Structure formats: structure tokens, C-alpha cells
Structure 1
Amino acid sequence: MQLPVTPPVAPMLAKAVPTIPPEASYEPKWDGFRTIVFRDGDEVELGSRNGKPMTRYFPEIVDAVRAELPQRCVVDGEVVVAAGGVLDFEALQLRLHPARSRVELLAGRTPASFVAFDLLALGDQDLTGRPFVERRAALVEALAGAGTSVHLCPATRDRDKAQQWFTTFEGAGLDGVIAKPLDGMYEQDRRVMFKIKHTRTADCVLTGFRWHKASTPEAPLVGSLLLGLHDGDRLQHVGVVGSFTARRRAELVEELEPLRPREGDRHPWSDWVEAQAREGHRPTGAVSRWNTGKDLSFVPLRPERVLEVRYEHMEGHRFRHLAHFVRWREDRTPESCTYEQLEQPVAYALGDIVPGLGSAR
């Protein structure tokens, strides 16, 4: 490729802030794979956030780039999969499959789209040193012919409108708002943008723990705590809490010891516990989203203790990201920890945010 900006590129990042800052350009925050698109004629490469190419996983995006983007350009954006009018991250993750036949099958079954939100190069021009307002204007012009599989990310300078987006767009699967300084240059791998994400709390049942990767028999350390919520008569696995200091990890070993099952106790997830020894069998909720070979075995605990956690949003029956420990809730009973406590975003269609996104192709 003979481009003024060449792969790999480390995308510009955002730091979390509690409120939407003034005097910025605001965009919805997408829940997909951050991707830098490089096009030089028929040559197309899709670069991931860590610099590794993702081109082979999304052949339909490669075709769309050739059809809808300028002949020579570098564009920053997000690869997403839409289903039923909302973003579907689980379906997107399944697209990262090693078998070519499976990749081609999924490209037709769950096609991805590309949402563009920054322009790094156009023709022979390197735009990374230009203010964002200039890059945005060039991006709008460059994407004038797009709209089938490549979409322009909405943007506004109206802070009140951004606040409205923050409240309503979550119903379509988006997870917040990004604020970009108007005069900001494109700075690779630096947190110079701002992200405002939803934060909520929930009371969950402690159901078990996993050992930390640095744990040894001589110096045991708890890695993460497993969380459950009652869905009728079923205790559903909803995620984990894992951000603890080394000292706290050591303390938890002794603190959780009294909750170990006694002889004759049967854990609500006994089938999962028994399946740990059977290679290739992982019950629902036991699959790693990023590494199917990862050891997800756990130490069961009697589901008698409740903890409050902070989370961003749900994806299906689970927390979308790692939850964060807030406090123990000795005043709550495990039976009271149900899905009914969770805030439900108002439904919102992706097509009302970006026309054509999520429609049948």
C-alpha cells in the first residue's frame, strides 16, 4: 500500500468522564470492534485496535469498502453487527472464526457494517495533523456515496442533543457518548477524547470464585468472584467481579472459606461444576467471549452472600463488561436478587440513528 498513513495504526482513545463536557463534537459510542480501514485501490486492510489485521474475518466489509469509500483513504470507525434493530455484540464476536468456510457462511448470515467517524488520510493527504472539525468535514464529503454497508456516524455540537442521545440510544445497543475536542489532532494511542458511559448498580448473589493466574498453593489468591441473579427458579450466571488489589485477593481466600460447600450440598450450578472435568463441554454462561480455550473452571460457594456491583449495561442475560465491586450487602437475601431490579432501557431502533443500518441486505 502506498498511503500517507500506513498500517498498523493505534487508534486514538478516550478517557472516561462523569458528564458530557461542553464545546465539543459529540457522537454515539458504538459497541463493536474498533477498526482502521486502509484502502489503496483494490487493496483493503482492516486493522484492529491492537494493530492485528481483521481483513479475513469480514469479506463483506472489504467489498463494501471497495464499493463505497474513496479509492485511496484511511478511515477510523467501528465494525458492528445489527440484529432486530439493535447492535448484537455476541453475533459480532462469533465472526472471528478460523475456518474460511465458516467466515463465508457467517458473512451471509450475520453481515457486518462499518460506521465511520474519523478520516486519517485521503489521496496523498495525511489528515492526522488537521483539527477534528476539518477531518469531520472531509469525512462527510468522502462518504457522500456510502450508505449501504458503510455508514457515517452521526455527530452534533449541541450538548443537549448529545445528552438526549445518551439517554435514548442505549435502547438500540449503544453504550454512551464520545466527545471530541473540536481543534484536536489525531493522536495515536492517546486518550485525548472523552467517553461518557452508563453506570448502574445491582445486588447479586456470590456463587463462586476463580483462582488468580498468579495464585500458588503456598500463596493462594482469588482472581474473580462469580455473580448470579435469580430468574424465576433459576440462578443465572450474569458475570464476574475481578478488580482487587493483591492484598485483597489474599484476604478473600480466608474470607470465603466458610462458604465452601459442605458434604451433601448441591450447588445451583452443579452441572457446570461436574462438566469442568469433561473436555469440550461448557454449559451456557461458561464460555469465554474472547478465548474459547481459556480455563473457566471455578470454585463453587454456597449462594448465601450478596454483594453490590457497578455495571454499565446488560447484553442478554449478562453484564456486557466486567462489573466492579461496591460493597457487601448483609441486609439483602440472595432470593431478593432478581432481574426485576435492573433498569430496562427504552427500545430504540438503529435505523433511526443511522438510516439503513440493520436493514436487510
Structure 2
Amino acid sequence: MDLPLTPPVDPMLAKLARELPTGDLLYEPKWDGFRCLVFRDGDELLLQSRNGKPLDRYFPELQAPLRAQLPPRCVLDGELVVPRGDGLDFDALSERIHPAESRVRTLAEATPARFVAFDLLALGDDDLTSTPFVDRREVLERTLRDVVPPLHLTPATRDPATAADWFTRFEGAGLDGVIAKPLGDRYQPGKRALAKIKQQRTADVVVGGFRWHKDGQGVGSLLLGLHDAEGRLRHIGVASSFSAARRAQLVDELEPHRATTDAELAEHPWSDGAGTAGSPRPPSRWNSGKDTSWVPLRIGLVAEVAYEQLQGDRLRHGARFHRWRPDRDPNSCRYDQLEAPPPAELTDLFAAGSEPASS
């Protein structure tokens, strides 16, 4: 490729902010998908992941639309998403990364992806990474003003009130928060120069087991559960990211609650029925070598955890442990305690026009 930027290029990143910042900023919805940089040089096309790996073979359905609608020579930054029903489906997107070409083709038809552009890094012979974002955004809007699905230009606004509305209203459609971008900044590959504001909530959950830390020293993660409408304890995810000191403390705190007898193991709701505990979730193909063995606990411990988003019946990201709740009955830890905002219409979101960066 003969472009002003040569792949791979590290995408610019964001750091977490607890409150919506104000100032000379442009706000965008935070898309919950795969980060993707698109390089086009004539007929040559490359889709690059956040970590610099090629994504082309996994999304063949985007090849023709990108060639048909993008300028002959350009570099775009954006996100790959899969819309289904009234929201985005991250699980369906994750399934698109499959080694078998036949499966890739089948999924391309069953769950086609879309590309949402939010920055323009190069156009023709011009490297735009040193250009202020406000100017890059204006060029991006002109460049993509006529695109049609599966290509989209992300909505954007300078109005903090509109951004706050998006933060609440778009969450039900599977978006992950709001990104705040300084209008005067150049593009800074690999730097956390943006701000991301994500949903933060707490829930009381049953701790049904734990996994040892990968170094063998202390507890690595707690296995969390909630009761569904039928009273079944469903594994919803984990709480992790403990300090070394806290991992050691948890060993002592959990020891009296370990299920050790044959009867306790057989009665555990996540038992495999053979007297030993099975994994609440099969190993992920993303980490096929990862040890997923775990230690069962007698059902009785309740913890308050912070979480960001529920996707389906599981936590989208790992939770953070806050404290034990000895005052709570495990049977009272149910899905109905979780906030479930009404979903925004994803079709409206894709069709929404962006305010010009100069507004």
C-alpha cells in the first residue's frame, strides 16, 4: 500500500472518567464492538484490529461496500458492530472470529457486520494525524456524507446535555457510554488522550466459587451468580483485579465456606452432577489455553459488586468487589434488582444525523 500511513497503526485510546467532562469537546456514543482501522489504496483494502492484526478474512461482507463508498486512498478509524433486533449484539460479533472459512461465510450472511467511522487519519496524499480533530471531523463529514449501510458516520455533538441524554438513552441499545474528544487535539496513536464515560452500578450477588490466581498465590477471581425467575442460580460472571494483599486475605475469608464433602459438591447448583464441580462456563476460544478450573463454595456468601453493563444474562465486563453483605439472603439476589433501561431504537441511532463539529 502506498499511503501516508503504513499499517499497522496503533489507535488512539481513552481513559476512564467518572463524570462527563465539559469544555472544548466533541462527544460521541461509545460503540461496544471491535475497534477497526480501515486502510484503502485503490483495490487494496486492509481492516486492522486494535492490536494490529488483520480482520479482513472474518468480515468478507464489508469488502465490496468499503471499496464502493470510500475514497480511493484513505485511512479511517472506527468500530465494527453487529446490530440485531433493537440493539447491538457483542456475542454475535465475537463469534465472527472463527478459524473455519465456511463458518465465516455462513456468519457473514447470518450476522453481517457494519462499520461505524469516527475519525479520518489520511486522505489521498495527506497525513491528517497532526491536524486538529475539529478539522478532521469536518473532512470526515464531507467525505462520508453520502454513505449508506453497512457504512455509518457516528453521531457527534458539542452539547453536554445531548451527550448526557445519549449516555442514558442509548445504553439499552447496547452502547457502552460516551467518548469525549478535545477538538484541538491531533491524533495520538497508542495514547490515552480521550475520555470515556461508562455506566457504573452495584448489585448484590451470590459468590458460588472462586478461581486461584494465575501465579498460584491467592484468589484470582470470585464466581458470581444471580437467581432467575425460576429460582435457578445462574453464573453471571466474575469479580477480579484484586491486589496481592487482598488475594491472600480472600483465601482465609473463603476457606470456611468451601464445599468439600461429596454431598456439598453434589448439591452445588453449578455441579456437573458427578460429585465434582464443573466449569460454570466452557472455556473461551479466545483463551483456549486458559485454566478454567474453579473451587466451589457453599451457597451462602453474598457480595456487593460494581458492574457496568448486563448483556443477556451475563455481565459484559468483569465486576469489582466492594464488600461482603452478611445481612443479605442469597435467595434474594435476583436478576430483577438490576437496572434495565428501555432500549433505544438502534435503527434511529444509525439513521441519526451528526451535528457539524462547528455547531
TM-score, normalising length from structure 2? 0.93
Which amino acid is 1:227 matched to?
L
Give, in whole Å, the separation in 2 of the partners of 1:192 and 1:272.
50
- Answer yes or no: is 1:312 the counterpart of 2:313: no
The residue number in structure 2 matching 1:197 is 198
Contact 2:86/2:343, CA 8 A, preserved across alignment: no
Partner of 1:121: 122
On the 8 A contact 2:271/2:277 being kept in 1, the answer is no
**TM-superposed deviation, 1:275:** 8.0
Superposition pairs of residues 248-263 of structure 1, within 5 angstroms? 248-263=246-261
Question: Any gaps of 5 or more consecutive residues in structure 1?
Answer: 357-361
1:69/1:145 contact within 8 Å kept: no
CA deviation after TM superposition for structure 1 residue 293, in Å: 4.6
Native 8 Å contact 1:176 1:198 kept in 2:
yes
CA distance in 2, matches of 1:81, 1:246: 38
Give yes or no for contact 1:75–1:120 (8 Å, CA) kept in 2: yes
In the alignment, what sits opposite 2:6? 6
How far did residue 18 of structure 1 move?
Answer: 1.4
Alpha-carbon RMSD across the aligned residues, in angstroms, is 1.8
CA–CA separation in structure 2 for the residues paired with 1:147 and 1:161:
24
Structure 2, unpaired ranges of 5+: 353-359
For 1:359, the equivalent position in structure 2 comes to none
Out of 233, 236, 260, which is 1:235 matched to?
233
Task: Find out whether 1:335 has 2:331 as its counterpart.
Answer: yes
| Matched residue type, 1:224 | S
The CA deviation at 1:274 is 6.3
Deviations 1:193-226 (A, max 9, x none): 11111000000000001111100xxxx4211100
Normalised TM-score (structure 1):
0.93
Q: Equivalent residue of 1:271, what SS?
A: coil
2:62–2:114 contact (8 Å) kept in structure 1: yes
CA spacing shift, 1:275–1:56, aligned 2, 3 Å: farther
Report the alpha carbon displacement of residue 289 of structure 1 after superposing the two structures with TM: 6.7
Separation in 2, partners of 1:272, 1:182: 58
TM superposition shift of 1:294: 3.0
CA distance in 2, matches of 1:199, 1:77: 24
Distance 1:54 1:248, change over 3 A: same
Q: Distance in 1 between matches of 2:285 and 2:338?
A: 23
Aligned equivalent of 2:345: 349
Query: Kindly, what percent of the aligned residue pairs are identical?
Result: 59
Per-residue deviation, 1:254:
2.1
Question: Which has the larger displacement, 30-39 or 257-266?
Answer: 257-266
2: CA distance between counterparts of 1:85 and 1:334?
A: 33
Cα separation, partners in 2 of 1:5 and 1:109, compared to 1, 3 Å: same
User: Following superposition, which runs of at least 4 residues in structure 1 exceed 3 angstroms of deviation?
Assistant: 272-277
Letter aligned with residue 148 of structure 2: G
Q: Tell me by how many angstroms 1:65 deviates.
A: 1.0
For residues 169-184 of structure 1, what are the structure 2 equivalents within 5 Å?
169-184=170-185
Counterpart Cα distance in 2 of 1:355 and 1:290: 33
